[in-house]
Structure 1
C-alpha cells in the first residue's frame, strides 16, 4: 500500500530536501519502518527511545491525529496522506 508522507522542513535533510515522499505499509508503524529504510535516521526523529511518538511531534493520517486513533497501529490505506508536524511553542 503506497502512501504519501508530508515532511516538515526540519526533517527534509533526511529526504534530500523533498517535502513529500512515498512509503508503504498497512499501519503507521510499517510506514515509518519503510520510510526509515529509504531515509535512514528519520524514524528516530519521529519516535522516542521507547518507540513512541515524540511528545512534540504530531502525526496525522488524512485529517486525523493518530493519538486519537490507534497511535502507531493506525491503518494507512492505499493513497493515504500522512503529515508529520512538529509542535510549535512560544509566547
Structure 2
C-alpha cells in the first residue's frame, strides 16, 4: 500500500463477497468520502456493496464502519471524509441468543 491509498478491512463473512479478500486497497483522492468509497467498491464487488448498503444507498443498520478507529456515526456518516492513507474497517454486527 502506498501513502495515497486507502485500505479497507473486511471480516471473513464479507470477504467471501470480495473474492475472499479481507483487505482491499483503493486509490485515495481529495474529497473521498465513505459514500464514494462504497460506490467504488460496489463497481468491483456489487454483492459486497449490497451487503453493506440497502437499495436506497443507506448503510445497513447492522453494519458498522470505522475510519482510523472512529465510528462514522460520530462523524458525518457516509459523508465522512476518508483521507489518503486511511484505514477503513467494515464490520457486521452479530446477533444471537
Normalising to structure 1: TM-score of the pair?
A: 0.90
Which of the residues 32, 39, 50 maps onto 2:38? Answer: 32
Say yes or no: does 1:13 pair with 2:16: yes
Partner of 1:48: 54
Whole-angstrom CA distance in 2 between matches of 1:59 and 1:73: 12
- What 5-or-longer segments of structure 1 have no aligned partner? none
Say yes or no: does 1:57 pair with 2:60: no
Cα root mean square deviation, aligned: 1.4
Q: How many residues were matched structurally?
A: 91
> Runs of 4 or more off by more than 6 Å in structure 1?
none
Whole-angstrom CA distance in 2 between matches of 1:90 and 1:46: 20
**1:40-67 residue CA offsets vs partner (Å, 9 max, x unmatched):** 2211110112211101010001111101
